[in-house]
Amino acid sequence: MAAVPQFNLAPDLPVSRLCLGTMTFGQQNTLSQSFRLLDYAFHAGINFFDSAEMYPVPQSAQTQGRSEEYLGSWIKDRNIPRDRVVVATKVSGPSGQMHWIRGGPTSLDDSNITHAIDDSLLRLQTDYIDLYQIHWPDRYVPMFGETEYDPTRQFDSVGIEEQLDSLGRAVDAGKIRYVGLSNETPYGLMKFLHVAKRTCEFPRIVTVQNSYNLLCRNFESGLAECCHHERISFLAYSPLAMGILSGKYLSPDKGPTNARLNLFKGRYSEGESRYNLSKTIIKEATKAYVAIAEKYDINPVSLAIAFVLKHPLVASTIFGATKLKQLQEVIKAVDVELSPEIISDIDNVHSKFTNPCP
């Protein structure tokens, strides 16, 4: 097994091009199962691990924070030198649904960001976080399957200046090293960059983490240009579209009962709104991509992962795994080369079924 290659997010921040997401840890995966996945990933060359204060998902008051706790416990239990791993986590944006996280959370003001960082540090059992990300914006933004901007839905939000000021003080205090965004728009990314450039005391955004896969290529339409010209590293999450691109949901029985979209049916609104398997276009597009994999004798998982990694602006792709076999399949994908013929076939399907999972 070849080692997973790396990419430099910053001169002193090399990360593996595969990043193990931890949002199943503490819900679908027990502590021992999580340790097994982390062990295998680390020994395969993966040094990049992504979490969030709200994880695991689906979110609940009973499990909130376990994913960070499991990751921190693994680093401590295995006595891994802190500089051998890159730890990324996120602060939750405004939400009226998670009352157990600072009452909502209500906003991304200084108090919320500061408390979120300190709590994550405790759960992770570490002195610093390598990459700290805003999970979603403190303003109305169409997300998770929404495609049209509705100006009437805007709400009073915390200014970007206050958000960056709070993050900057955390950087100065040594609590975080670098700052990133997630589920962000071209407008939002450029606004953060503009404010940081105008006020030199504020940290500069170095990454943006958004969904990118064969069923969702919106990144290519506007955000890619921003990342290219502003030298922002793109972190692609959901490369398998919550497992849909593996083809497992195409079987007559609609996939294993313990597969995420079956196990949590009706409980995971963010995922189900984007990856709605009742939509014919999603099924037809998935069938077409699986057919391409079969045509070229490639595992559908390898096809999906290799497609994401092929994009020149993708620094690393963040994937989840609940079983060792799934993890192994993803790791194998780093050795897969997609020929011009395969890319042509992919683009033909994309032109027919354009971004069914925005």
Q: Is the C-alpha dihedral spanning 220, 209, 212, 233 positive or negative? A: positive
Asked if residue 94 belongs to a domain, the reply is yes
Asked if residue 294 belongs to a domain, the reply is no
pLDDT at 267 (0 to 100): 80
Per the CB < 8 A criterion, the answer to whether 86 and 47 are in contact is: yes
Asked if residue 108 belongs to a domain, the reply is yes
pLDDT at 1 (0 to 100): 57
Q: Buried b vs exposed e over 289-304: b needs ≥16 C-beta within 10 Å?
A: bbebbeeeebbbbbbb
Domain interval for residue 103: 13-241+303-336
- The tens-digit pLDDT sequence of the chain (358 residues) is 568 999 999 889 999 999 999 999 999 999 999 999 999 999 999 999 999 999 999 999 999 999 999 999 999 999 999 999 999 999 999 988 899 999 999 999 999 999 999 999 999 999 999 999 999 999 999 988 888 999 999 988 999 999 999 999 999 999 999 999 999 999 999 999 999 999 888 999 999 999 999 999 999 999 999 999 999 999 999 999 999 999 999 988 888 888 888 888 878 777 788 898 889 999 999 999 999 999 999 999 999 999 999 999 999 999 999 999 999 999 999 999 999 999 999 999 999 999 999 9
Asked if residue 346 belongs to a domain, the reply is no
How far is residue 85's CA from residue 71's CA, in Å, rounded to a whole number?
A: 11
- Between helix 110-124 and helix 66-77 the angle, nearest 10°, is 40
Active site residue 55: yes
Write the single-letter amino acid at 168.
G
Cα–Cα distance list, 126 to 81, 118, 263, 293, 322 (Å): 11, 10, 33, 42, 25
Asked if residue 310 belongs to a domain, the reply is yes
Question: CB 239: neighbour CB atoms within 10 A?
Answer: 26
Question: CB 110: neighbour CB atoms within 10 A?
Answer: 15
Asked if residue 6 belongs to a domain, the reply is no
Omega within 30 of 0 (cis) for the link into 239: no
DSSP per-residue letters across 51-108: --TT-SSS--TTTTTHHHHHHHHHHHHTT--GGG-EEEEEE----SSBTTTTTBT---
Supply the pTM of this predicted model.
0.97
- The enclosing domain of 307 has a CATH number of 3.20.20.100
Total count of domains within the chain:
1
Asked if residue 59 belongs to a domain, the reply is yes
How far is residue 45's CA from residue 42's CA, in Å, rounded to a whole number?
A: 5
Question: Which among 55, 132, 178, 237 is annotated as catalytic?
Answer: 55
Q: Where are the beta strands (DSSP E) in the chain?
A: 6-10, 13-16, 18-21, 48-50, 86-91, 129-134, 176-182, 205-211, 233-237, 314-319
How far is residue 18's CA from residue 15's CA, in Å, rounded to a whole number?
A: 8
How far is residue 355's CA from residue 340's CA, in Å, rounded to a whole number?
A: 21
